Amino acid sequence: MSDTIRTFVAVKVVVLPELLAVLKSLAAMRWPVVAVPPDKLHVTLKFLGETPLELCGEIQRQVAQAASSQPPIPLRLEGLGAFPTTARPSVVWAGLVDAEPLVAIAERLEVLLEPLGFARESRPFHPHLTLARIKGRPPRELFDLLRHHAETRFGTFEIRFVEFIRSDRQRDGARYSTLASCELS
């Protein structure tokens, strides 16, 4: 029996109708395009990785503290892009507009979780919504989809909670379970 679990801190994303259509298009492309299931859409604020079970209560308190100083966040999803580039995609993402409050929460989490042994990220936090991972040479339709939705406005939704999430690897992908849901003030 392991005394660690794999965890991360994130905000869950509402699946807006136009975004759902894009996810269905990505899923229809099949291998090597691996679409994120709609019920697993989230923006990771801090990946913790293997986490000692005895730290989970303190992590929850720190996540709650980071969330408590931020009112609910209206976010707009706009445009599709890819990392590292749209010419050689390995990740397809939807852009987030007015996401500065998420950056602020992520920065607070870096400060609050470092004393618990979670190293600060070496790169600046750039919030994005991962829609798919590309595991090989992408099909032509992917480039068409990226071009067609480069500036699409998918809609606006409100973030009201920051989640402390457990991730268990399964044969068919990760299974997520919320360990704590911390309300924004």
Write phi, then psi, for 37 (nearest 5 degrees). -60, 140
- The position carrying tokens 């503290």 is 65
C-alpha 162/C-alpha 67 separation (Å) is: 6
Q: Which two tokens stand for residue 127?
A: 């919030």
Per DSSP (E only), the strands in 135-172 are: 153-159, 161-170
Cα 156–Cα 91–Cα 79 angle in degrees, nearest 5: 30
159 forms beta bridges with: 73
Which candidate, 86, 84, 73, places its Cα nearest to that of 151?
Answer: 86
Residue 70: CB partners within 8 Å, gap ≥ 6? 101, 104, 105, 184, 185
pLDDT tens by residue, the chain, 185 residues: 469 999 999 999 999 999 999 999 999 999 999 999 999 999 999 999 999 999 999 999 999 999 998 999 999 999 999 999 999 999 999 999 999 999 999 999 999 999 999 999 998 898 999 999 999 999 999 999 999 999 999 999 999 999 999 999 988 778 999 999 999 98
149 is catalytic: no
- The position carrying tokens 């406005």 is 153
C-alpha 62/C-alpha 112 separation (Å) is: 6
Rg for the chain, CA atoms, rounded: 17
Tell me what percent of the residues of the chain surpass a pLDDT of 70: 99
Among the listed residues 42, 126, 148, 149, the single catalytic one is 42
For helices 100-113 and 56-68, the axis angle rounded to 10 degrees is 140
For helices 17-28 and 140-148, the axis angle rounded to 10 degrees is 170
Please state which architecture CATH assigns to domain 4-183. Alpha-Beta Complex (3.90)
pTM of the model: 0.93
Cα 76–Cα 81–Cα 86 angle in degrees, nearest 5: 170
In the chain, the amino acid numbered 79 is: G
